[in-house]
């Protein structure tokens, strides 16, 4: 016999009571964990443990048939972790750029809405706030699939005592925003130089008459657009709601496969999760075959390099160092062995961190 709408709604209400009860029970246990962490001077957020919790939830969901969408479940768990962590005191996250930029969006996607976010006007300031304890973590851009590496981030990593403790990868979807609802009335379009470059074909096709102008950031472009109805800004969808602007066009980026990778920086390295990445900076002697010999060590130890990028050392002309990402954790035997060999043969090795891979 088919149940009535009222009966089904009553069952939903009963289930919701159980969910709220379990959330409160979880919060009480988490508060106990917080007290233990405080007594042992352990940082509130443990990114490796959080990944494990979310992974366990997704596996359990799969076992139960994944009736509830896995992507939504992951987002819910991130918010649960964020909210419960805030009971132990606000977790402060420094990030590069104003509100509603892609770095801000990346930080929220990882740490949840209940964290405290600190916008910074430079990448260097993000590192300073984490170094001096005014932020628990920092989020900075490291590379974009179209624009390449953010060299300033690499340069600061060389000199900081902080570690890379996580990474975030988000799609870069660009939106055309304005106070104006009629695209034909737009006379100027502002955005950050990267966003303008990434939507050049769209602008040439749809706005050949408009003046294209560079802003300090996508958020700054929105601030300008908010003051003038003939101006549009190119920014994220989140920026539309943050600045009260209309969306004139969605996904205007020329390349649809456009992603930016962000690093999470902190003071403590986490334990292996089984799906990790390690980053380091290596300098080799300025002699024939030096780089080949260094890279051969990774090959002999069956270590997969996912990235290698050269940078001027800034110590003398034509002297270079290499930023390297590789699969695995520094506690893995193969990586330990490789780093020992590299220390003997390389001019310089700086370990930057081992951390969970982003999905």
Instruction: Output the six-digit token pair for 43.
Output: 């940082």
End-to-end CA distance of the chain: 44
- The span from the CA of 197 to the CA of 176, in Å, is 14
**Ramachandran class of 249: left when φ > 0, alpha when ψ lies in -120 to 50, beta otherwise:** beta
Active site residues: 260, 262
Helix/strand/coil for 244:
coil
Helix 290-300 with 333-345: angle, nearest 10 deg: 160
Residues linked to residue 143 through DSSP beta bridges, in sequence order: 149, 261
The answer to whether the CB of 173 falls within 8 A of the CB of 260 is: no
How many angstroms from the chain centroid is the CA of residue 180? Answer: 32
CA distances from 107 to 91, 115, 166 (A): 12, 9, 11
């Amino acid at each position: 016999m088919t149940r009535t709408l009222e009966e089904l709604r009553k069952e939903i209400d009963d289930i919701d009571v159980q969910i709220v009860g379990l959330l409160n029970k979880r919060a009480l246990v988490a508060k106990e964990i917080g007290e233990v962490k405080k007594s042992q001077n352990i940082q509130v957020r443990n990114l490796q443990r959080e990944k494990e919790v979310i992974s366990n939830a997704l596996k359990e969901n799969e076992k139960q048939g994944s009736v509830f969408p896995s992507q939504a479940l992951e987002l819910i768990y991130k918010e649960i972790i964020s909210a419960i962590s805030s009971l132990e005191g606000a977790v402060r996250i420094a990030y590069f750029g104003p509100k509603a930029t892609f770095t801000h969006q990346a930080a929220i996607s990882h740490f949840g809405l209940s964290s405290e976010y600190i916008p910074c006007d430079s990448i260097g300031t993000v590192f300073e706030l984490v170094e001096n304890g005014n932020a628990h973590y920092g989020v900075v851009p490291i590379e974009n699939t179209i624009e390449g590496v953010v060299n300033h981030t690499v340069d600061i990593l060389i000199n900081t005592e902080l570690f890379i403790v996580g990474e975030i990868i988000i799609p870069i979807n660009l939106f055309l925003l304005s106070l104006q609802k009629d695209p034909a009335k737009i006379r100027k379009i502002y955005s950050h130089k990267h966003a303008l470059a990434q939507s050049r074909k769209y602008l040439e096709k749809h706005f050949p008459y408009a003046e294209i102008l560079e802003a300090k950031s996508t958020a700054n472009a929105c601030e300008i657009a908010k003051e003038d109805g003939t101006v549009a800004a190119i920014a994220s969808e989140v920026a539309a709601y943050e600045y009260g602007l209309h969306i004139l066009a969605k996904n205007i980026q020329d390349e649809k496969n456009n992603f930016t990778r962000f690093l999470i920086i902190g003071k403590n390295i986490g334990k292996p999760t089984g799906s990790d990445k390690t980053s380091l900076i290596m300098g080799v002697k300025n002699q024939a075959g030096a780089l080949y010999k260094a890279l051969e060590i990774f090959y002999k130890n069956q270590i997969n390099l996912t990235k290698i990028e050269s940078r001027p050392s800034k110590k003398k002309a034509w002297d270079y160092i290499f930023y390297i990402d590789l699969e695995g954790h520094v506690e893995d035997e193969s990586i330990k062995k490789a780093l020992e060999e590299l220390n003997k043969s390389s001019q310089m090795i700086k370990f930057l961190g081992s951390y969970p891979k982003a999905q």
